[in-house]
């Protein structure tokens, strides 16, 4: 198989944006390197766009909007079906790009990053078959119409997955889009733009502008012809986007940070609760906004939880992301590597008890942004490692003495994105889930549901993605009285 870098270079994509159905050059030609986190070396360069590119892309999206909004749901579903098929057909190319640009182990990139990304397109397609764009309330018709031109800003940790989670429902709703992927993981976005072109999407319906936050994200957020901004990123980025969007009163949907709890109830089977909890916390090497990195456990079971957690960590293979044997690769970039190392040092200084892992790289790895999967115990809820999003493989085990205290600890953060509850008595588990203030709660590690709405309470953001609610974010509501 040709490498994604060679593929994109041969096709002359690295120097270009996808605007109005064409691969266009950007002026001026500012560039940034794409860093392989396993070697810390630059493997390619991409062109960074500017406000000029944003203006061109938004104009193309605006021209295309009326025609795309007027297409039938059946026609839009056919386009989405082609996109879904092309993503799956190009799984290997996408997987190798993800492994190269953000360090995902190739097996994980293939089975999870790409597969679940394709599922978002599938869900958006299927929702079109049954969604009632017109309903009636007496003699009044309630119409759900596309909001318009949407600016989509996606992160580096789930590059393709977050693109499809936004592009799929936006196109299904009848919107046109301008995508700004993270400049740290742009390869999979360029490959996705090729998919859109090859699927025959009409010119201007989908546009891609590579760039950074100050150069492209801010311009997109402030643009008067952009009707909606959807951002997945840090809480800090969400604030900046909201501020830039405020003067034009556009809709802003934000999926931001998290510090998700995993409440282990007293009757939970620890042999079934702990290892999957560690795996969930360290999924994607902890670089997930909903990772359950606070494990809240009965104090009387603390020693057994520590033993089981360390046993689970010992089964992980941190290594070359191109190896089929690696379960975990490096963190995605230098800034994140330094952040994780700094927070492990903070945990030690705060007096949390280090039970496995710790600072520095794993043994035998001397370069690359590799970190040691780390578990702290006897963590107190006020500690920084229990309050701040670390975005790495660092688990905080927090003991409790009563279920009420466990719920209080679970809610004791500024975030409210995801949560987990483990317990034998389903009624009690449901009661605890109901008391946790977060947008999504998992009971006893259920299967992933792409139709379950996802989004946050508190400073984890607003709005919802996935499923029907994800598409409705891109719709306006119009009432037509006397419609009969």
Residues with catalytic annotation? Answer: 255, 289
Evaluated on CA atoms 237, 242, 245, 251, the torsion sign reads positive
Task: With CA atoms as reference, report the closest residue to 164 among 232, 63, 89.
Answer: 232
Q: Where are the alpha helices (DSSP H) in 255-364?
A: 270-281, 302-314, 334-350
CB 189 within 8 A of CB 208: yes
Q: With b meaning 16 or more CB within 10 Å and e meaning fewer, what string describes 181-205?
A: bbbbbbbbbbbbbbbbbebebeebb
In eight-state DSSP terms, residue 308 is H
The token duo for 395 is: 């688990």
CA nearest to 60, candidates 206, 179, 166: 206
User: End-to-end CA distance of the chain, in Å?
Assistant: 59
- For the beta carbon of residue 253, count every other beta carbon within 10 angstroms: 23
User: Distance (Å, rounded) from C-alpha 54 to C-alpha 56?
Assistant: 5
Q: How far is CA 298 from each of CA 17, 271, 411, 455, rounded to the nearest angstrom?
A: 53, 14, 17, 28
Tokens of 354: 């280090």
Count of CA atoms in the C-beta half-sphere (13 A) of 208: 32
Q: What is the rounded radius of gyration, in angstroms, for the C-alpha atoms of the chain? A: 23
């Amino acid at each position: 198989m040709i490498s994604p870098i060679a593929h994109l270079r041969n096709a002359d994509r690295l120097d270009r944006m996808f605007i109005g159905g064409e691969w266009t050059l950007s002026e001026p030609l500012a560039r940034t390197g794409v860093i392989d986190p396993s070697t810390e070396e630059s493997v390619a360069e991409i062109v960074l766009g500017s406000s000029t590119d944003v203006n061109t892309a938004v104009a193309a999206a605006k021209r295309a909007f009326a025609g795309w909004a007027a297409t039938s749901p059946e026609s839009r579903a056919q386009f989405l079906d082609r996109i879904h098929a092309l993503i799956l057909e190009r799984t290997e190319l996408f997987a190798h790009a993800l492994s190269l640009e953000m360090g995902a182990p190739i097996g994980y990139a293939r089975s999870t990053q790409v597969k679940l990304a394709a599922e978002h397109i599938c869900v958006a397609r299927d929702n079109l078959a049954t969604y009632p764009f017109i309903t009636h309330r007496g003699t009044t018709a309630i119409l759900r119409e596309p909001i318009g031109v949407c600016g989509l800003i996606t992160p580096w940790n789930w590059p393709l997955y977050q693109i499809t989670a936004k592009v799929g429902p936006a196109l299904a709703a009848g919107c046109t889009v301008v995508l700004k992927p993270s400049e740290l993981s742009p390869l999979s976005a360029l490959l996705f733009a090729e998919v859109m072109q090859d699927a025959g999407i009409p010119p201007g319906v989908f546009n891609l502008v590579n760039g950074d936050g100050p150069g492209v994200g801010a311009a997109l957020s402030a643009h008067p012809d952009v009707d909606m901004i959807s951002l997945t990123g840090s809480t800090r980025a969400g604030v900046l986007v909201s501020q830039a969007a405020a003067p034009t009163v556009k809709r802003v949907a934000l999926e931001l940070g998290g510090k998700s709890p995993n409440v282990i109830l007293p009757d939970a089977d620890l042999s079934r609760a702990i290892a999957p909890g560690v795996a969930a916390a360290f999924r994607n090497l902890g670089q997930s906004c909903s990772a359950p990195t606070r494990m809240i456990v009965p104090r009387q079971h603390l020693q057994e939880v520590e033993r089981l957690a360390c046993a689970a960590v010992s089964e992980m293979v941190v290594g070359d992301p191109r190896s089929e044997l690696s379960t975990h690769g490096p963190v995605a970039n230098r800034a994140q590597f330094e952040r994780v190392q700094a927070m492990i040092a903070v945990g030690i200084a705060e007096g949390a008890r280090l039970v496995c892992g710790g600072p520095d790289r794993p043994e035998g790895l001397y370069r690359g942004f590799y970190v040691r999967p780390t578990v702290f115990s006897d963590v107190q809820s006020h500690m920084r490692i229990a309050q701040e999003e670390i975005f790495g493989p660092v688990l905080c085990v927090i003991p409790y003495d009563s279920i009420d205290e466990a719920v209080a600890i679970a809610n004791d953060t500024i975030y409210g994105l995801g949560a987990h509850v483990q317990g034998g008595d389903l009624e009690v588990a449901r009661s605890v889930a109901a008391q946790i203030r977060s947008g999504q709660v998992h009971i006893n590690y259920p299967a992933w549901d792409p139709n379950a709405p996802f989004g946050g309470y508190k400073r984890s953001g607003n709005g919802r993605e996935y499923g029907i609610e994800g598409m409705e974010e891109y719709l306006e509501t119009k009432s037509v009285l006397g419609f009969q």
